[in-house]
Chains A and B, each alone.
Chain A
Amino acid sequence: MSADLADIAARLAARAEPGEHIEVAVGRGVSTTVKAYGGQVESFTSAESFGVGVRVLVERDGGMAQGFAHAGTFDPEVLDETLRDARDNAGFAEPDPWQALAEPDGVAAVHQELWDERLAAFPTERKVELALELERATKAWSPKVKGVRVASYGDSAGEFALASTSGIRSAGRATSAWLSVSCMAGDESETHMGYGVDVCREPGGLDLAAVATEAADQAVRLIGAQQVPSQRLTLVLEPKLAATVLAIIGSMLCGDAVVKGRTPFADRLGQSIASPLLTLVDDPTDARSMGADTFDGEGLACRRNVLIDGGELRGFLHNSYTARRAGARSTASAVRGSRSLPGVGPQALAVAPGERTYEELLASVDNGSLVQSMSGLHSGVNTTSGDFSVGAEGLMIRNGALAEPVREVTIASTLPRLLLDLVAVGSEIEWLPGGSGSAALVFGEVALSGS
């Protein structure tokens, strides 16, 4: 199958005219989703998707003008139209002296095996059973679980190929399977939500009990939550939440934000920007991350990139455009789908673990709050100014022990400030479905607004 994807890409790229540079990305995927509700299958989705993206660069006035077009089918007439549109678009873009397609850079690929044959052999009835069983297990976790909003099993198998006139040829394929559940817990007067998820390369590796526990525990432990008075306190972020916040930090260390002056860290290379406890690395060759990959979105070999080492800013992530513009080398950090232009982003961002376990970290806090979820991360975090203000839910920590649940409070700081306020990193890394990983993080003296 991958042979014909690579073929479609190569054949379109080969239609470049003199003075034109073309890159073609094609993808195809099949997916299954089963949603369970009330002991029944609520929906069963079976789907096949296609995508193609054509980037045309035209040399003009000492630079390259870029046009792009995408489509959701491989119909020959639509492919023709897509190439034509991309070409036409290039005629209206302004030439950019730094714009060019990625060139092979000689870095050897570290092959990641992201395809697991066991997915194809996994019977449909078992997928249905997993979704139903996840709903049952979540409800059974505690009588305080009032209901399950939806319990889902999903899987996908996708292939991707890239070809360009600069000699790039890359192809890859990946499988994944996941379980997720959201549930409600409480009594007559209040309801809280909890969410659990697990992702693997094949369904046999999924930990159903852990997903049910994560969701049910999150919701149940918030029962009786109250607003607390505004104060400054120590903040402990649970590992998955910490990974979410670090992913935002990662986006502020990306070449596009740096070259356009949209991040407070743009001029800080080589300086100390975080607590010496923080080492942050984006390493897509680390197979533990679901973001692991052999090639980036421009077909360069993925590699390990150190962003922050002992608090010092060591590097930014670049695709070939931002690298050229910053006078650096691409870090093979182009991220894209077949229907989008390559951007820049972390793929498998993770913190270097510290010494102490989660329990030891909690025990070290006199007055603080364990935050299990944040809301408004898209609206309350400004990665340009660094302002950070989000809603939070979790538990208070008093004299080293978890205490009463808290809700309807906000946490505010700035992202540069938070990095400096880091006082401890836990020893156990957990990974998000999106690829980033973190242990629990502890921040000192953060402003919490409540009553």
Chain B
Amino acid sequence: MLDPDLIRRTLDVALQRGADFAEVFVEDVRSSSAALDDGRIEELVSGRDRGAGIRVVVGDTTGFAHTADLSDRGLLETARVAAAAARDGSGGVRRVTVGPAAAQHAAAIAVDPATVGKAAKVALLQRSDHAARAAHGAVSQVAARYGDVRRRVLIANSDGVFVGDDLTKTSFSVSVVAKGDAGLQTGRQSVGRVAGFELFDRYDVEELARGAAERAVRKLDARPAPSGTMAVVIAGGSGGVLFHEACGHGLEADLVNKGASVFAGRQGELVASPLVTLIDDGTLAGEWGYFGYDDEGHPAGRNVLIERGVLTEFMYDHLRARDDKRRGTGNGRRQSYRHLPMVRMTNTYINGGSDDPADIIAGTEQGVYVAQLGGGQVNTASGDFVFGMTEAYLIEGGEITEPLRDGNLIGNGPAALAAIDAVGSDFSMGYPGTCGKDGQGVPVGMGTPTLRVPQLTVGGTAS
């Protein structure tokens, strides 16, 4: 993407006032999307964004500047600004060695979306629209979106890291509104992978559309969710958001080091039920949070965070690992070249257990079965989290009975983790997610087997 000599000179300028660390992050993103709404292809959007972010660290202070100008002049000036921002250090001039070529990772794709005609992308949307409308007479509105993005990055730093990554992602989602006597209800399905257009060999857009339609239609007759504390069985796949919120964020070293996590200082302790093994794995090829190198040039890692209930590891970015004098974990990520990296999850999941999912439901006298979870949020300091149920049913006498309207679940991370009393053998990854933290969004994957938390608070309106 850029001449290695220019990268080296940029780092030299970044370091010339004395610095402990300097980094150049270059990014080139091309995206295309198409959206159907109200029976019509409404939006076709193409995007191009490229630029560089330059970081200079002096002591505990990071100076950061970014530019869309990738010329000699643009990069060297930005390096000067970043160096000035980091304040004057005491060190002398350091020469940086940058290899002749970046170590390059590229995710394998079968069909480059850039070579696929827009007509084929638009046709996917139209097929899903027809399928959703044909699925049921109550379907009143369909929106579908196709997107692909190719992100190429180049990272070089004063520690000798010089790597590149090239990821193509393709995604599709469909949202359906159904209209009944009691108002409107919604259903949604989304898929996305680090993959090319072959994504649609794996997923049938018509089937996804019918699934979203059925979900919306079923909720038309749904009763209000109950309110109060009860057993909650979470279906395999989408339940990953529970762990992402309930404990994932609390295991990020930046929050831990600032005392903003309930898990601070608890390494080696039992923090969850012995049934729980939690893994964050950026190496899971094809998953939404997959990459070769993180946004600081560390190789992606597979990190066991909780092993049979015991807290074994936190997630680190480069600076936090350096401060703690330990190895990085490959969790330094950023939304774009305009953002500073920080500790972020990749693909976070709970390992499958030994219980038959059917037995978990049958063994639940009274409670709620959550077939699909929406987004969530956590207060990392208290551990209190919420997440939305977008498809849920009542469990009565060990059987799934009536559908419930949307509602939130609320719980406390450490308490919920400790209480988990059944983990199914049916592990799967869920829908692609975007994790928000301090105003930056990054793509993440999540997964779980079916599992049961004996006590969570369900926020419904039924008394």
Q: With A94-B41, A390-B408, A408-B410 in contact, is A379–B374 under 8 Å at CB?
A: yes
Is B116 engaged at the interface, CB distance under 8 Å to the other chain?
Answer: no
Stretch of A6-14, A38-46, A283-291 lying at the B interface:
A38-46
Provide the B45-56 mask, 1 if CB < 8 A to any CB of A, else 0. Answer: 111111100000
Determine whether the beta carbon of B186 is less than 8 Å from that of A376. Answer: no
Is A230 engaged at the interface, CB distance under 8 Å to the other chain?
Answer: yes
Stretch of A102-110, A204-212, A260-268 lying at the B interface:
A260-268
Interface set, chain A 337-355, CB cutoff 8 A to B: 339, 341
Determine whether the beta carbon of B228 is less than 8 Å from that of A384. Answer: no
Residue in chain B with minimal CB distance to A38: B60
Q: With A50-B68, A193-B379 in contact, is A449–B458 under 8 Å at CB?
A: yes
* Residues in B whose Cβ lies below 8 Å from that of A393: 379, 384
Determine whether the beta carbon of A412 is less than 8 Å from that of B459. Answer: yes
8 closest A-B pairs by CB: A410-B459, A379-B388, A89-B44, A376-B386, A379-B375, A391-B386, A449-B227, A85-B46
Stretch of B256-264, B350-358, B419-427 lying at the A interface:
B256-264
Q: With A40-B59, A96-B40, A379-B386 in contact, is A71–B49 under 8 Å at CB?
A: yes
Q: Which of B46, B183, B340, B388 contacts A264 (CB 8 A)?
A: B183
Determine whether the beta carbon of B340 is less than 8 Å from that of A385. Answer: no
For the complex, what is the distance from the CA of A232 to the CA of B381, rounded to whole Å?
A: 28
* Residues in B whose Cβ lies below 8 Å from that of A43: 61-64, 340
Determine whether the beta carbon of B259 is less than 8 Å from that of A72. Answer: no
Stretch of B10-18, B79-87, B191-199, B269-277 lying at the A interface:
B79-87
Provide the B324-342 mask, 1 if CB < 8 A to any CB of A, else 0. Answer: 0000000000000010100
Is B179 engaged at the interface, CB distance under 8 Å to the other chain?
Answer: yes
Provide the A33-57 mask, 1 if CB < 8 A to any CB of B, else 0. Answer: 0000110111111111110000000
30 pairs, CB–CB < 8 Å, chain A vs chain B? A41-B87, A43-B62, A44-B87, A46-B64, A46-B85, A49-B66, A68-B43, A69-B45, A69-B47, A78-B48, A90-B44, A92-B119, A184-B259, A192-B379, A193-B379, A264-B183, A379-B376, A379-B408, A384-B184, A387-B406, A389-B225, A389-B407, A391-B384, A409-B457, A412-B224, A412-B225, A412-B460, A413-B461, A447-B461, A449-B227
Is B377 engaged at the interface, CB distance under 8 Å to the other chain?
Answer: yes
Is A149 engaged at the interface, CB distance under 8 Å to the other chain?
Answer: yes
Is B104 engaged at the interface, CB distance under 8 Å to the other chain?
Answer: no
Determine whether the beta carbon of A386 is less than 8 Å from that of B61. Answer: no
Residue among B86, B119, B375, B461 with max Cβ neighbours from chain A (10 Å) = B461
Interface set, chain B 70-93, CB cutoff 8 A to A: 81-82, 85-87
Shortest A307–chain B CB gap in Å is: 20
Is A253 engaged at the interface, CB distance under 8 Å to the other chain?
Answer: no
Is B115 engaged at the interface, CB distance under 8 Å to the other chain?
Answer: no
For the complex, what is the distance from the CA of A387 to the CA of B65, rounded to whole Å?
A: 43
Shortest B439–chain A CB gap in Å is: 10
* Residues in A whose Cβ lies below 8 Å from that of B340: 43, 45
Q: Which of B118, B259, B388 contacts A191 (CB 8 A)?
A: B259
Is A82 engaged at the interface, CB distance under 8 Å to the other chain?
Answer: yes
Is A375 engaged at the interface, CB distance under 8 Å to the other chain?
Answer: yes
* Residues in B whose Cβ lies below 8 Å from that of A21: none
Shortest A162–chain B CB gap in Å is: 18
For the complex, what is the distance from the CA of A368 to the CA of B366, rounded to whole Å?
A: 30
For the complex, what is the distance from the CA of A413 to the CA of B225, rounded to whole Å?
A: 11
* Residues in A whose Cβ lies below 8 Å from that of B410: 375-376, 391, 408-410, 449
* Residues in B whose Cβ lies below 8 Å from that of A78: 48
Q: With A44-B64, A191-B262, A412-B225 in contact, is A92–B118 under 8 Å at CB?
A: yes
Is A66 engaged at the interface, CB distance under 8 Å to the other chain?
Answer: yes
Interface SS of chain B: helix, strand, loop or mixed?
strand
Determine whether the beta carbon of A376 is less than 8 Å from that of B377. Answer: yes
Determine whether the beta carbon of B49 is less than 8 Å from that of A380. Answer: no
Is A177 engaged at the interface, CB distance under 8 Å to the other chain?
Answer: no
Is B451 engaged at the interface, CB distance under 8 Å to the other chain?
Answer: no
Is A442 engaged at the interface, CB distance under 8 Å to the other chain?
Answer: no
For the complex, what is the distance from the CA of A378 to the CA of B47, rounded to whole Å?
A: 26
For the complex, what is the distance from the CA of A80 to the CA of B57, rounded to whole Å?
A: 38
Is B185 engaged at the interface, CB distance under 8 Å to the other chain?
Answer: yes
Residue in chain A with minimal CB distance to B40: A94
* Residues in B whose Cβ lies below 8 Å from that of A147: 258-260
Determine whether the beta carbon of A408 is less than 8 Å from that of B457. Answer: yes
Determine whether the beta carbon of B47 is less than 8 Å from that of A339. Answer: yes
Q: With A46-B64, A376-B377 in contact, is A92–B407 under 8 Å at CB?
A: no
Is A434 engaged at the interface, CB distance under 8 Å to the other chain?
Answer: no
* Residues in A whose Cβ lies below 8 Å from that of B460: 389, 412, 447, 449
* Residues in A whose Cβ lies below 8 Å from that of B86: 44
Shortest A131–chain B CB gap in Å is: 12
Additional pairs, 11, CB under 8 Å, beyond known A92-B118, A92-B119: A43-B64, A45-B63, A45-B64, A67-B44, A88-B118, A92-B122, A147-B259, A261-B179, A264-B184, A379-B374, A449-B460
Determine whether the beta carbon of B61 is less than 8 Å from that of A40. Answer: yes
Residue among B186, B338, B382 with max Cβ neighbours from chain A (10 Å) = B382
Determine whether the beta carbon of A230 is less than 8 Å from that of B227. Answer: yes
Is A190 engaged at the interface, CB distance under 8 Å to the other chain?
Answer: yes
* Residues in B whose Cβ lies below 8 Å from that of A149: 255, 258, 260
Determine whether the beta carbon of B457 is less than 8 Å from that of A410. Answer: yes
Is B221 engaged at the interface, CB distance under 8 Å to the other chain?
Answer: no
* Residues in A whose Cβ lies below 8 Å from that of B388: 376, 379-380, 389
Q: Which of A68, A96, A391 contacts B459 (CB 8 A)?
A: A391
Is B20 engaged at the interface, CB distance under 8 Å to the other chain?
Answer: no
For the complex, what is the distance from the CA of A264 to the CA of B180, rounded to whole Å?
A: 12
Residue among A81, A409, A449 with max Cβ neighbours from chain B (10 Å) = A449
Is A86 engaged at the interface, CB distance under 8 Å to the other chain?
Answer: yes
Is A433 engaged at the interface, CB distance under 8 Å to the other chain?
Answer: no
Provide the A391-419 mask, 1 if CB < 8 A to any CB of B, else 0. Answer: 10100000000000001111111100000
Is B177 engaged at the interface, CB distance under 8 Å to the other chain?
Answer: yes
* Residues in B whose Cβ lies below 8 Å from that of A201: none
Shortest B253–chain A CB gap in Å is: 13
* Residues in A whose Cβ lies below 8 Å from that of B49: 71-72
* Residues in B whose Cβ lies below 8 Å from that of A451: 228-229, 457
Q: Which of A192, A386, A410, A413 contacts B386 (CB 8 A)?
A: A410
Determine whether the beta carbon of A407 is less than 8 Å from that of B45. Answer: no
Q: With A86-B46, A385-B405 in contact, is A46–B65 under 8 Å at CB?
A: yes
Residue among B140, B258, B408 with max Cβ neighbours from chain A (10 Å) = B408
Residue among A73, A393, A409 with max Cβ neighbours from chain B (10 Å) = A73
Interface set, chain A 74-99, CB cutoff 8 A to B: 78, 81-82, 85-86, 88-94, 96
Shortest A227–chain B CB gap in Å is: 7
For the complex, what is the distance from the CA of A94 to the CA of B184, rounded to whole Å?
A: 27
Q: With A69-B46, A391-B386 in contact, is A378–B375 under 8 Å at CB?
A: yes
* Residues in B whose Cβ lies below 8 Å from that of A82: 46, 48
Q: With A67-B44, A89-B118, A449-B228 in contact, is A376–B387 under 8 Å at CB?
A: yes
* Residues in A whose Cβ lies below 8 Å from that of B184: 261-262, 264, 384-386
Determine whether the beta carbon of B60 is less than 8 Å from that of A40. Answer: yes
Residue in chain B with minimal CB distance to A52: B48
For the complex, what is the distance from the CA of A390 to the CA of B255, rounded to whole Å?
A: 24
* Residues in B whose Cβ lies below 8 Å from that of A92: 34, 41, 44, 118-119, 122
Is B313 engaged at the interface, CB distance under 8 Å to the other chain?
Answer: no
Is A158 engaged at the interface, CB distance under 8 Å to the other chain?
Answer: no
Is B97 engaged at the interface, CB distance under 8 Å to the other chain?
Answer: no
Is A146 engaged at the interface, CB distance under 8 Å to the other chain?
Answer: yes
Determine whether the beta carbon of B141 is less than 8 Å from that of A192. Answer: no
Residue among A78, A192, A375 with max Cβ neighbours from chain B (10 Å) = A375
Is A450 engaged at the interface, CB distance under 8 Å to the other chain?
Answer: yes
For the complex, what is the distance from the CA of A45 to the CA of B463, rounded to whole Å?
A: 51
Residue in chain B with minimal CB distance to A266: B184
* Residues in A whose Cβ lies below 8 Å from that of B42: 66, 93-94, 96
Is B402 engaged at the interface, CB distance under 8 Å to the other chain?
Answer: no
Residue in chain A with minimal CB distance to B262: A191
Residue among B49, B65, B227 with max Cβ neighbours from chain A (10 Å) = B227
Residue in chain B with minimal CB distance to A229: B228
